[in-house]
């Protein structure tokens, strides 16, 4: 598949401020990978939201923009002692899927749902190619290419 990216492609990235010690690492590697894929700073919009629960609304707002081709959603929901983890994790995932289907644009799930801080840090480290931010950038660009072919 041709990996050339049009200068008209624009990707939005939403990052959660809650657990930002994780989301900052995800965002950093995501941006590096998007640049590796050929995007410039001008082709990226970065928006910070208070927490992961707020991501779907912002994703919908951004996906409705004609110049946005894909939205990458980055956050970290870490299990605690209450049912809150399940509520947030499930609703954020459902919300992102709803936005993707409604907008017919890629809404890429980069919200980590983990049991421990250690698990989140392992998914956000830039060692061994296992950073979820990198995975999300590659997924977004693959989906943009595929949708442009169709």
> If DSSP states are collapsed to H, E and C, what string results for the chain?
CCCCCCCCCCEEEEEECCCHHHHHHHHHHHHHHHHHCCCCHHHEEEEEECCHHHHHHHHHHHHCCCCCCEEEEEEEEECCCCCHHHHHHHHHHHHHHHHHHHHCCCEEEEEEEECCHHHHHHHHCCCCCCCHHHHHHHHHHHHHHHHHHC
Tell me the catalytic residues.
84
pLDDT tens-digit readout, 9-61: 999 999 999 999 999 999 999 999 999 999 999 999 999 999 999 999 999 99
Domains of the chain: 46-149 (3.40.50.960)
Q: pTM of the predicted model, to two decimals? A: 0.94
Mean pLDDT over 113-128 rounds to 90
In angstroms, rounded to a whole number, what is the distance separating the alpha carbons of residues 144 and 147? 5
- What is residue 129's predicted lDDT score, i.e. its pLDDT? 61
């Amino acid at each position: 598949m041709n990996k050339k990216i049009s200068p008209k492609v624009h990707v939005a990235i939403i990052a959660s401020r809650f657990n930002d010690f994780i989301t900052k690492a995800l965002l950093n590697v995501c941006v590096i990978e998007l640049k590796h894929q050929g995007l410039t700073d001008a082709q990226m919009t970065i928006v910070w939201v208070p927490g992961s629960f707020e991501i779907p609304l912002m994703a919908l707002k951004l996906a409705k923009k004609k110049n946005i081709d894909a939205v990458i959603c980055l956050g970290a929901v870490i299990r605690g002692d209450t049912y809150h983890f399940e509520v947030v994790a499930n609703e954020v995932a459902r919300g992102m899927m709803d936005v993707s289907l409604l907008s017919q644009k890629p809404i890429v799930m980069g919200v980590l749902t983990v049991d421990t801080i250690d698990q989140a840090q392992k998914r956000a480290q830039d060692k061994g190619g296992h950073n979820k931010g990198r995975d999300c950038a590659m997924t977004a660009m693959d989906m943009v290419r595929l949708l442009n072919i169709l």
